[in-house]
Amino acid sequence: MYLVISSFQSIPWVGLIVALSWSFYNLVRKKIDVDTDIGLLVESLFIFPAVIFAFYLIVQNDLNDFDISNVKLILIFMLAGPMTVIPLYLYVRGVELCGLGPTGMVFYITPTLQFLLGYFLYNEELDLHKLISFILIWIAVSIYLKDLYEKN
């Protein structure tokens, strides 16, 4: 374990911030007992002032490159809302139905497939540190899933 940690050149701040913010979001979302659609409305209203401020800065600094004659861009913007809200709604609804434990395990599938794709298809170099990290992560996931299965 020390071998893996000692190979870092710096602290992975982005990964830690994403992990902590997502954990905090799930904790707050779990503790506040509201319907999925009401919760998403409150979340949207919470971020609305920041969006208005961002649009204000865009217009003030003359960075508005959006043109009404660009139909393709307008369609992309129109789809941006549903493309964001629908997966978030389904995620929150899934957490309500089966809990954070099983849904959290789903998040290990994508990085694992990316890891395998990089190694087998793109011939990415696999050094000892990556292999040890991968094995340790999946040992921890296996232990957690075994414990979760035994409780049910």
Element (H, E) at 17: helix 13-31
pLDDT of residue 3: 54
| Domain shared by 124 and 52, yes or no | no
| Domain shared by 117 and 96, yes or no | no
Element (H, E) at 119: helix 109-120
Are 70 and 82 within 8 A, CB to CB? Answer: no
| Domain shared by 78 and 131, yes or no | no
| Domain shared by 84 and 128, yes or no | no
What is the number of domains present in the chain?
2
Are 42 and 34 within 8 A, CB to CB? Answer: yes
Give the model confidence (pLDDT) of 55-88 as tens digits: 899 889 888 777 778 888 888 888 988 998 898 8
Give the model confidence (pLDDT) of 96-114 as tens digits: 888 877 777 777 888 889 8
Domain extent at residue 131: 108-152
